[in-house]
Structure 1
């Protein structure tokens, strides 16, 4: 079975955790002791029914405040497909956590409260999902039971969001009305909304087509670790371990190592289970070459006639994640790109983007917490980079404050070189 990676998104109190709890509960993928624990906590809090959100909100602070703070990952499977769910926070101060959860997603669920409609955070998360190149987006209009399952309310929200989505690049948009609390249209179709002729949420998740965003054409193998055993029995062994970030590596292929430019041929591809003939994303393997050449952590193995851009200058969209400092031109950070870490300086802030109107403010002098903008960076070492739309792994990076070691920004490369 294939795996669908999905992330929840939306404003606070839209019911993301409850929806995931309902999916887990109704698909019978929750252990009896977990249900018992949730029932006990729900009773202790004086709630009238079982609070399914507690199945994902595991931190004590989350349970006390009734909010999601950190990204919670849950796993379940049906007869058709396996699922990895990232339950992300709705609070604006935790937008950075949402970016983390959605960065590897195949599908994003953007929830809205039927009573409140489309809010700023709904638009922000929808925009971030498109910025992160999530190929499928589902607008889930939740809490339909609180508006008497009104078709008029649903149509109004549908129309408003569709108008906003027209400004974004959303390859696939689906809108589904649900009540996570009661289970309407979550696992099975609801009789309370006869006017809705679409599928249930689970049916859509089971059948949505996953066209892998892992580029199978451009060979990209960032070297994470050089394996050189200090043993007489392994005296001549030299392997390069890492995760395939693009393309298909095959035994006997001609390759080039960047940034040095040395060329060789793949002698052996190995996994923990032994030798294999080919490796593809997202496999973690060890590659051995026919020639003893200088290869270090942070280097990249690729095809001689299909190389990424080797550059020290990149244009990128960044989401600023630090509440204590601002991003300003001239600021210096560490940049982590694939397996390479270097120092970088912000040469220019081209504009700040308004997530509501998508207006570009070219007069902006800085980016504050959760703001998004386009920047120009120059690194001290060459980066082997692709545009993010072509390859997530080689097109994404993070910025780190060297003084505090905090991750302060996530970036998507729009132009390398």
Structure 2
């Protein structure tokens, strides 16, 4: 385990520890209807029981025919029309079949010529086509199993189901899937200064933005919220609510109280009813971050104590908690977002001792930071389309390539 000179754990080390701990156990599984499976994580692999498409079909509107080397300028009689959803018929000698996109290829046909490459004629109710361009054998046919072959591994255990995955499963005729049960999470915001939205503010108070923000993030991940509560800076009350949350939650998230101020009680309470794995990490914003657990008679429940400043909560949740939470849900792929190198539209001439996640926008091919990077300001979170990642000790000038984490990649 490596530490910075300030005895701060590097971000990547903490994430690796969290992911390793999450892999020690997996949630229970359950069977879920496909129309309710969005955002769920597969608890068993999906093997295709069929070919997709299940039959050879036309990739476009045209004419199905039996290929030969000298089709150009030939005149063929059109025997009939076949539509998508109809069973295929047999092609007659020296004839073609009018075929529409998605229709099954008639028996005896092996090529579909585009309707733009023929001349269509009708004489005495007899429909004919003249081939104006020699087709390649097999062109414009989507073969059975072209997308998915029977017996093929479609998705592995630990795959999170998005809209594309749902559509693919539906194309296989799968009506239900085995998934891990939804993770149960409690959110506890601490601080005497917090007041709930809708209530009048008095001097010295601020609205509780952390709890609604975390609740929204968790709902987007399809977790089951057990409670979202505000607790004043009272160690007895904090101990009570943490012990209660440990009875029915798989993970507890707190905000505030993780530093060393007179009103910061999380560390002392946790040492009484559980244990602390780590306390500080080399990240900016968000250095005071607690990872530990609350112990009960029946089980030990992991806890992540986030900082109190809203921007610090935003950054530490997305960078540290999100991969961990996905792993606790059973997800085993695409846990860590991938960054790309993008030119900086600003300079950083002085190095620092923590990895910093600046809220930026990609504008005209350069990363432009928001003007307010304070840990207490949330406007930059709403404004930004990603993070510029500034490593420990790194300096750069305008135009230099730096790491960029798009929000789309962070959320996955």
TM-score if structure 1 supplies the norm length?
0.25
Higher normalized contact order (CA 8 Å, seq sep 6+, divided by chain length): 2
| Greater gyration radius | 2
TM-score if structure 2 supplies the norm length?
0.25
